[in-house]
Chains A and B, each alone.
Chain A
Amino acid sequence: MNPRDEALGAESSDAALLGRTRAGDAESLTILYRRYREQVYSMAFRITASSDEAMDVVQDVFVGLPEALRSYDGNGPLGAWLRRIATRTALAHQRGDRRRLRRHQRAAEDRGENDPALAVEARLTLERALARMPQELRTVFVLKEMEGYTHGDIAAMLGITQNASQVRLHRARRFLKQRLMDRL
């Protein structure tokens, strides 16, 4: 971050930044990006299980942010609002990508070889299983287990009933159980 950004970022509240970003100010957008990129990327990565797709989602979210902010009413933290948008955008990406399954598997396997942070065998095993999980099950598992959304929130985001969300979560867990058995 350059010194000007740092100065701006340190003294600017989200509210002040939002106004300037809405008006198309690139510096404010840059500060918001640096503040929230981890959250947006993390959500996108978990939903898509692909670093390439997650990058695309992050780009799209921040390219569209100035216009999207017009519908942000300030109720609730900006980070939570952005994570929901990242989720919906990631899901939209998923719907448009028919080759996703192979890419997910490759992404998880590549990370296992290269990322020392994933040295813990159980975690890596779980991540690989998650990458192989059918997308509709993984989305619910990620939103519920990893992001802490309620079944009501998940139902609203995915356009399914709460009961369907619960059923998908149970199926996701059974999927993991069948593949991991005694390995966790």
Chain B
Amino acid sequence: MTALAPTAAPARAAAPPARNRRALLRRRALPYLLLAPALITFGVFKAYPIVASLLLSLTTGSGAATRNAGLSNYRRLLDDPLFWTALGNTAKILVVQVPLMLALALLLAVGINSALVRWRAVWRLGVFMPTVTGLVATGVMFAFLLNTEHGAVNSLLGQLGLPAVDWLGDPFWARMAIVLLLTWHYTGYNAVIYLAGLQGIPRELYEAAMVDGAGPLRRFFSITLPALRPVLLFTVVLSTIGTLQLFDEPYVLTRGGPDNATLTVSMYLYDNGFRYFDFGYASAIAYALTLIVSVLGAIQMRLMGERE
């Protein structure tokens, strides 16, 4: 007992730091533990495919016949007229659709936010409803509406004395049909984001401006728009990325036709992977698209971001 005493004393003395260390470790580990489910899910379902497809883009063939191909898929991409057609179509749809949709969404948001409007919840619901509609159902519905012979849209145009439009058979109008479908589907989503942004603008600013004699237009351009800047940036970047990855709408409505007028990069990617079994090439297209999205995103951030 006495022999043990001297050793026991220092042990007792050393105990508090050890417990402290464990506690510290636990405190440090806890956040990671809490993050683990998200990190592991991200790793398995996002990081792994991202890395795997990069590796895949450097191969050719599939299954047991997979071979290294170096950068040949990327070289092939540069010489592939269909890839450039797809990129051009995506760009054409992008420059028309994104500004149109966002302007419309802003208009709707300002309208719904107006003090004069009654039953606001009903309007909000109505505007947001298309967003929750299934894409395939939407595509089928639009195919009916836009049918050249029997569609409701052409019949309406006819009643207004306008000529019938070959919506899905004419290259230009087929692209417009995609623009129409996209705008119908996503305007409400952006309008709701703007609405939230509008409600965050302090009322005093408007009151002060009114005291200073600013009219509604002046108030919109000098208060509303600058205050919405971060929200605007967010929607522009998000919509641009969304449109660059455009797949469902042309897949359901036009299958990329007529004459490849609505073939998008994502559709071409899908065709190469799942129709031509050329997964290496499809991955190379995916990485080319990623590069384009990153560059465009960076440019938009630069142009529209907060000035320091």
User: Do A and B bind?
Assistant: no
Interface residue ranges, A against B (CB under 8 Å):
none
Interface residue ranges, B against A (CB under 8 Å):
none
